[in-house]
Chain A
Amino acid sequence: MGENDVWQGTLALMVLKTLESMGPLHGYGIARRIEQTSGDRLIVQYGTLYPALLRLEQEGYIASEWGVSDNNRRARFYKLTRAGRRQVEKESQRWEKAAAILARFVSPGEEPL
Chain B
Amino acid sequence: MGEGGGDSRALRLSGRGTPVRKLRGWLLRLWRLFSRNLSDQEFAEEIETHLQMQIDDNLRSGMNPERARREAILKLGAMELTMQAYRDRTTLPCRNAMAGPPLYDSAATQESGFRRHRHTGAHAWDRRYGSDFRLCGCGADQASTVSRTIPAGWHLRKHSPGTEIPFVVSGLLRFQEAQPGLHLVRCL
**B contacts with A: majority SS:** helix
**Which single member of B28, B43, B52, B57 contacts A50 (CB below 8 Å)?**
B43
Interface size on A, residues (CB 8 A): 22
**A contacts with B: majority SS:** helix
Chain B residues near A74: list those with CB within 8 A.
45, 49
Interface size on B, residues (CB 8 A): 29
Q: Does the CB pair B46–A50 fall under 8 Å?
A: yes
Chain B residues near A46: list those with CB within 8 A.
47, 50, 75-77, 82
Q: Does the CB pair B82–A50 fall under 8 Å?
A: yes
With contacts A47-B78, A51-B85, A54-B89 taken as known, whether A75 is within 8 angstroms of B46 at the C-beta atoms is yes
* B residues 37-79 touching A (CB-CB < 8 Å): 42-43, 45-47, 49-50, 52-54, 56-57, 75-78
Which chain B residue has the least Cβ–Cβ distance from A75?
B49
Chain A residues near B89: list those with CB within 8 A.
51, 54-55, 58
- Chain B interface residues toward A at CB < 8 A: 17, 21, 24-25, 28-29, 42-43, 45-47, 49-50, 52-54, 56-57, 75-78, 81-82, 85-86, 88-90
- Chain A interface residues toward B at CB < 8 A: 26-28, 32, 45-48, 50-51, 54-55, 58-60, 69, 71, 73-76, 83
Q: What are the nearest 3 A-B pairs in CB distance?
A: A58-B25, A47-B82, A51-B85
